[in-house]
Amino acid sequence: MGSKIVVVGSSNIDMIVKVPRIPKPGETILGGVFATAAGGKGANQAVAAARAGGDVGFVARVGEDMFGEKSVQGFISDRINVNHVKIDKKNPSGVALIFLGEDGENSIAVASGANGVLSPEDVYSARKVIESADILVLQLEVPLESVRSAAEIATKAGVKVILNPAPACPLGDDILKLVTIITPNESEAELLTAIKVVDEKSAERAAKVLIEKGVETVLITLGPKGVWITSRNLSKLVSGFVVKAIDTTAAGDVFNGALAVAVAEKKSLLEAARFANAAAALSVTKLGAQPSAPVRKEIEEFLAKH
């Protein structure tokens, strides 16, 4: 059995339209290919962690509909513990509408559905699983009070908390103090610190602000450039890998899932970031969120070659 990871977060079905470019407001664009894939930041991170070798439990809500059923079947086939994935009879499963440009970049709108009512009570009902985990992984696609409850349970039990602050949302120091590792991208780092992250120096300044607010370690993801790490004894860029991007959707999620496994396995921060960068690089070479998350063997073979 791998290291124990619990993910509390969202599950969506992604409806993807390939477009020559992202349409402007009021504009209609023709010619797109349509695809669906399992997605949602929480579910993507859970699947990525399971495929990277973690023993994963997922705490979430899906609707009592075709999408919810399909998502749960996917979790089970990835050997994820779904005891705390509730079937919501009143709200539909989350849906994300994704425009995917030819350069692999995207634009996403989410109808939260059942994700929006994942409650602190749902989180408390998973208390024992969170307390016995090595790492708790959180994002911000479910209500903030539920994110806070999960982080409090973990912190009291001495479980490390990884927070991927996506989608971007202002966070109080009360939550940031509960976070062991935070993993914003450039724009999320800017929203949390009011520092525009454009290069290594500005990434370091933003990271220091988050450390002063009580976070132990800050990893700012910089797309293909890699990841900036600031911790007590470390301030360094870990370079990313150059690959041909087909679809960058969920690259950040795959990064976080793989990072959780590497940290739980007690790899050094530098090794963990390299492992997570490799998983994220592999993910952008395939279409779709969960379909693109690589398995452990693929990550190790990629690392051996680079």
Binding residues for ligand RIB, rule: CB under 6 A, are 10, 12, 14, 39-41, 44, 96, 108, 110, 141, 249-250, 252-253, 289
Closest separation in Å from C-beta 37 to ligand RIB: 8
Q: What is the SS3 string spanning 188-205?
A: HHHHHHCCCCCCHHHHHH
Residue whose CB is less far from ligand RIB, 141 or 190: 141
Closest separation in Å from C-beta 123 to ligand RIB: 19
The HSE-up count of residue 185 (CA atoms within 13 Å, CB side) is 15
Residue whose CB is less far from ligand RIB, 39 or 184: 39
Question: Active-site residue 247, yes or no?
Answer: no
DSSP character at residue 185: B
| Residues pairing with 107 in the sheet | 99
Residue whose CB is less far from ligand RIB, 9 or 240: 9
Among candidate residues 232, 166, 235, the one with its CA nearest the CA of residue 200: 235
Residue whose CB is less far from ligand RIB, 40 or 74: 40
> Active site residue: 14, 55, 78, 253, which one?
253
Residue whose CB is less far from ligand RIB, 45 or 202: 45
Closest separation in Å from C-beta 109 to ligand RIB: 9
**H or E element, residue 274:** helix 269-283
Among candidate residues 53, 111, 122, the one with its CA nearest the CA of residue 85: 122
Residue 206 and residue 200: Cα distance in Å, rounded?
A: 10
Q: Which residue is nearest to ligand RIB (CB)?
A: 39
Give me 44's structure tokens: 């993507």
Beta strands in 172-252 (DSSP E): 181-182, 217-221, 226-231, 234-239
Residues contacting 122, CB < 8 A, separation 6+: 59, 61, 84, 86, 146
Residues contacting 53, CB < 8 A, separation 6+: 2, 3, 261, 265, 296
Q: Which residues are catalytic?
A: 253
